[in-house]
Amino acid sequence: MADAPSLSRGRSVPDDVTVCVTSCGRADLLGRTLDSFRHHNGPGRLLISEDSGDAEMIAWLRRTYPDATILSGPERLGMMGSVDRLYAAVETPFIFHLEDDWETGAPVDFAAAKRVLESRPQVSVVCMRAFSELKPRHRASARGFTEAGCEFRLMQPDVHPEWYGYTANPGLLRKAFWEPFRPISRWTHDGFSAHVKAEGFEVAFMLPGVARHIGGGRHVVDPFQPRTSDKSRLSRMRKKAKTWLAERIRAVTGKLRG
């Protein structure tokens, strides 16, 4: 495991933001994630939840990122358990969430993102993922708005049965958003997103986005998340139920009009 290169110190993460990173044994991807983010955004409060339980990985983290607080334990918590562990340790009002497989290509506009969270309480996360990486039909239906001279898109809640209430993709959120739902490890990631979407929360994307996914083909099995086959089966069942309900509504509406 190589040590981190020297980082740009031309700017820094705001004092009221804590960078929270979920990690699980993928040192090369985590290194690219942290080094690219800090190259563009400088130093700041950094918490890393390392869920692998690998002593060598944890030693490398402490040596390579000595200013980071490393949270770990003998047993795996899974993704959402790691999120709870991270957010519970945060002492700032804002959290910048990162997973260990994202490469940052430009600085984050923290000021504009905070303006959105302050002016739109229904926004759970201001996501910094490259908007072009989303499915075309999801992008096409998004609602646009401008804040602090920046363009944003709000995702339509009905474009997917679970997504876009919350996302663990790179983004800024309030710690106060998490508080009423803790522990969110009661849900899967998508289940929590669906739950908070039903409560009226939305995800906003800042255009064009500054982070791209680099973890394709390197999936880590999460013991607390459904297997892909299970998720596919559940997704098909939900789609069938949604289609049946829409057809019933159309049929009833047609009879009433008749």
Cβ atoms of residues 207 and 131 within 8 Å: yes
% of the chain at pLDDT higher than 70 = 80
What would you report as the CA-atom Rg of the chain, rounded to the nearest whole angstrom?
19
> What dihedral angle (degrees, nearest 10) is formed by the CA atoms of 99, 102, 108, 112?
-60
Is 73 in a helix, a strand, or coil?
coil
Which of 20-24, 37-41, 144-148, 233-237 is least confident? 233-237
Cα 11 from Cα 34, distance rounded (Å):
15
pLDDT attached to residue 215: 82
**135-177: per-residue pLDDT in tens?**
999 999 999 999 999 999 999 999 999 999 999 999 999 999 9
Predicted local distance difference test score (pLDDT) of residue 9: 45
Instruction: Find tokens 């390197």 and name the residue.
Output: 218
What's the pLDDT at 242? Answer: 57
pLDDT of the residue at 5: 47
Task: Grade residue 52 by pLDDT with cuts at 50, 70 and 90.
Answer: very high
